[in-house]
Amino acid sequence: MNTDRLIDMLSAELEAVNSGRLGKTLILAIVTGGAIAFALMLVTVGPRPDLQSTAHIEWVAVKLLFALSVIGTGALLLNKSMRPGLEDATNWTMVLFPFLAALAVAFAVLLGQPQAWRELLRGATTVSSVRCLVLIMSFAAIPLAAVIYALRQGAPTRLKLCGGIAGIVAGGIGAAAYAFNCASDTIPFIAIWYSAAIIICAAIGSQLGPRVLRW
């Protein structure tokens, strides 16, 4: 085939394109994924029964704050990762900030109350930590598919990185849904187990990236 002919072919009847559509698709995918994860939480484990109490609502808010900051920073980076050429100008470590902040607060809390260490590591929390991991990851599955669908409309060039961040965003969505059910009201628990669940999602995403995001 002659390259000149291909160029004639591509530029014939050229359509104008809207480059802002890409970001909107990503937001739509995150919102849709979030709604599905929330609905899944409602029909499976349901919200915690003691939600009437203000103190418990405050804890839900704390968990949501963490999950939403993870989603927010991740979405910002995903929006850049689907457009080629922004790789070098992007601060990819930003994605870790919410985790580092949560761990710092957790560390401060643990320094203040040494008995909390024992609580954290003892058998009493093992059930809730496994539950936390499993539920966050299950709630994250459909959001991950939605985010990957949105990314496929773009042109990511670092597939592992992009897939990993997609996993983080999906994990964040799963964590936001789980926050309504989770009865473990301590900062160290959130910082460790929520983060662990989200990071497993990131690992899965980075493995999927090179396979599903190729173009």
Partner 1 sequence: MLTDYNSWELESSSVEDDSQLTLVADGDQTDRKEFLNFSPSSARTASKASTKGKTCASNHIQCEIANSSSVDEPGQSKERELRALMTASLDGDGSAYHTLLKQLTGHLRAYYRHRFARIGHGPTEAEDLLQEVLIAIHTHRHTYDRLQPFTPWIHAIARYKFLDYLRRTKSSFKDLPIASAEEVTAKSDMGAVESALDLQRLMSKISSKARQVIQHVKLEGLSVSEAAVRCGMSESAVKVAVHRGLKALALQIRKESEA
The residues that touch partner 1, with contacts defined as CB under 8 A, are: 1-19, 21-22, 82-88, 154-155, 157-158, 160, 214-215
CB 94 within 8 A of CB 69: no
Complex with partner 1: residue 4 or 122, whichever CB lies closer: 4
Complex with partner 1: residue 154 or 188, whichever CB lies closer: 154
CB 67 within 8 A of CB 176: yes
Complex with partner 1: residue 9 or 124, whichever CB lies closer: 9
Smallest distance, partner 1 to C-beta of residue 48, A:
42
Smallest distance, partner 1 to C-beta of residue 154, A:
5
Amino acid at residue number 45: V
Q: Is the dihedral of CA 38, 120, 126, 73 positive or negative?
A: positive
H-only helix segments in the chain? 3-11, 21-43, 54-81, 97-112, 115-121, 126-152, 159-178, 187-189, 195-212
Amino acid at residue number 131: R
Burial label for 178, CB within 10 Å (0-12, 13-18, 19+), is buried
Smallest distance, partner 1 to C-beta of residue 70, A:
25
Phi-psi category of 152—alpha, beta or left, where left has phi over 0 and alpha has psi -120 to 50? alpha
Smallest distance, partner 1 to C-beta of residue 35, A:
26
Complex with partner 1: residue 46 or 84, whichever CB lies closer: 84
Complex with partner 1: residue 18 or 54, whichever CB lies closer: 18
CB 78 within 8 A of CB 165: yes
Smallest distance, partner 1 to C-beta of residue 158, A:
6
Complex with partner 1: residue 1 or 55, whichever CB lies closer: 1
- Please state, in angstroms and rounded to a whole number, the distance separating the CA atoms of residues 32 and 34: 5
Smallest distance, partner 1 to C-beta of residue 210, A:
8
